[in-house]
Amino acid sequence: MKTGVLPSPEPSPASPLAGDAALAWQRDYWHGLSVRPGLRPVIDPADTNGAKNERIDACHEAHVRRFMRRLRLGRLGTVLDFGCGIGRHHDLLTSLARRYIGVDIAEGMLARAPGDVRLIDGTHLPLPDHSVDCVFCFWVLQHTVDDATLDTVISEFGRCLYAGATAVLCERRGPTRGEPGRPADYIRHREPAEYRRLFARHGFRLRRLQPIATSWRWPRRSDPLTNQDYLYAFTS
Ligand SMILES: C[S@@+](CC[C@H](N)C(=O)[O-])C[C@H]1O[C@@H](n2cnc3c(N)ncnc32)[C@H](O)[C@@H]1O
């Protein structure tokens, strides 16, 4: 299961980027990764035999299904997969909703994604007001490193969702550490309180928060609750 350390596909910027420059950097970074086989573009790019990524993916699916079941959202109309990547969650989401729309900033990711997928600029959504029942967003907002850009993204979620609809996120918390094989500042971990504050600015309320497995194994009681992935459900 051990994976090698890869060189970064793109040089890391010397200082943290913001706004359009940060989005452009993310777009190029993910587009570059999109050519790697299997799940490598969206989980561990260095997992050459694929077994680790398959197990992480199965673990995520089980956690998300259980989390969504507990939310009792019923059969959904339209679900928006924000930052859908290669469409890893397409089958899960189409089993819960009548209509699936995926959006992503990286063209190469969308070329591999099934279903109705659309290229976006990283902030604005090509969807009418109040037309979406659920926004789903897995490991994406942590790559929107500056709060001003994230604020625009969350306001777009609020515009597109029906009143009372839900945004489900999975993001990592805890100190932002370098990750093997990744540029240093491609990610920013935020604490649940930060997401709560950013979503509250647009009228969202945190309904459920749950830690999930940190890696390719199920969590143990002894695991620290920092530097873990958390599932969030915000209600608009
Ligand atoms: C770690 S991958 C996760 C992909 C997918 N959600 C999954 O779980 O398999 C991050 C994805 O977010 C996309 N992304 C990053 N920033 C974005 C933004 N501002 N708007 C849309 N997509 C974005 C990337 O292109 C990439 O496909």
- What is the mean pLDDT of each successive set of 10 residues along the chain, which is 236 residues long? 37 64 91 97 92 89 94 96 98 98 98 98 97 98 92 98 97 74 75 96 97 64 67 97
Q: Give the residue, out of 29, 30, 100, with the most ligand 1 atoms within 8 A of its beta carbon, to mutate for a pocket test.
A: 30
In this structure, is residue 3 part of a structural domain?
no
**Strand order across the 205-212 sheet:** 116-119, 97-104, 76-82, 132-138, 161-172, 229-235, 205-212
CB 136 near ligand 1, within 6 Å: no
Check which CATH number belongs to the domain holding 104 and give it.
Answer: 3.40.50.150
| Cα 234 → chain centroid | 14
Spatial separation of the C-alpha atoms in residues 178 and 183, rounded to whole Å: 8
Atom of ligand 1 nearest to the CA of 27: 25
Atom of ligand 1 nearest to the CA of 39: 9
CB 83 near ligand 1, within 6 Å: yes
Crossing angle for the helix pair 19-33 and 147-160, to the nearest 10 degrees:
80
Beta bridge partners of 76: 97
Instruction: State whether residue 115 is helix, strand or coil.
Output: coil
In this structure, is residue 46 part of a structural domain?
yes
In this structure, is residue 4 part of a structural domain?
no
Q: How many domains does the chain have?
A: 1
In this structure, is residue 134 part of a structural domain?
yes
CB 113 near ligand 1, within 6 Å: no
In this structure, is residue 59 part of a structural domain?
yes
Per-residue confidence (pLDDT) for residue 220, from 0 to 100: 61
- What domain range is 126 assigned to? 19-235
Distance set, CA 83 to CA 5, 49, 141, 224 (Å): 25, 25, 9, 28
Per-residue confidence (pLDDT) for residue 215, from 0 to 100: 56
